Amino acid sequence: MFSKKKNNDNENPSADKTAEQPLNNELPNEENQAAEPEIAEPAALTAEEKLEQENTALNDKYLRLFAEFDNFKRRTQKERVELLQTAGKDVIISLLPVLDDFDRANKAMENATDVASISEGVQLVHHKLKNILAQKGLKEMESNSAPFDTDLHEAITKIPAPNDELKGKVIDVLEKGYTLNDKVIRFAKVVVGS
């Protein structure tokens, strides 16, 4: 019996060791598994904190860009208003000498007896005005005997053409048309032959 007990005792300690080994192996694994989520949670919080920091940085960047764009819009709108208010400044400055010439002509007409000299002075002022406007890009349209073009002309009326060559062409110009830098700014008012 004793030998059996000893054998059993001998067997039991080894069996206990074998039984304890899986338990010991399982316990450290369970501890490792339990410890891993605890370690993972701080890592997840760190990732969340990183995402929150990135989100905050992106929101700050967005707000700054939005404010900068808003300032840009205000600044360009202000510049546009200023430009529109002073757009004709250089044209008006260049026309001031012509206005001075007209003032001198009016003063000269008060006491003038020679119509020819007054007519010559008015023609000179007219020529000066045309030259200044031509320098600014203004061109007069030549419309007499030209084919009627709705892109350039505005027909006031149609009359029977004196000959077949003038059918569909401009017979008379009531008001001249003008282009500014090759863009029509005023259509010529014309009479068209039919």
Nearest residue to 105 via CA among 129, 121, 123: 121
Question: What is the CATH number for 172?
Answer: 2.30.22.10
Domain match, 124 and 184 both: no
Q: State the pLDDT confidence band at 47, using cuts at 50, 70 and 90.
A: confident
Q: Please give the model's pTM, rounded to 2 decimal places.
A: 0.54
Domain match, 29 and 5 both: yes
Can you give the residue range of the structural domain that contains 132?
88-136
pLDDT, averaged across the chain = 79
Cα–Cα distance between 121 and 101 in angstroms, integer? Answer: 9
Place of tokens 């007219």: 126
What SS3 state is found at 191? Answer: strand
Cα–Cα distance between 3 and 68 in angstroms, integer? Answer: 95
Domain match, 113 and 49 both: no
- Position 89, amino acid: K
Which H/E stretch holds residue 157?
Answer: strand 153-159
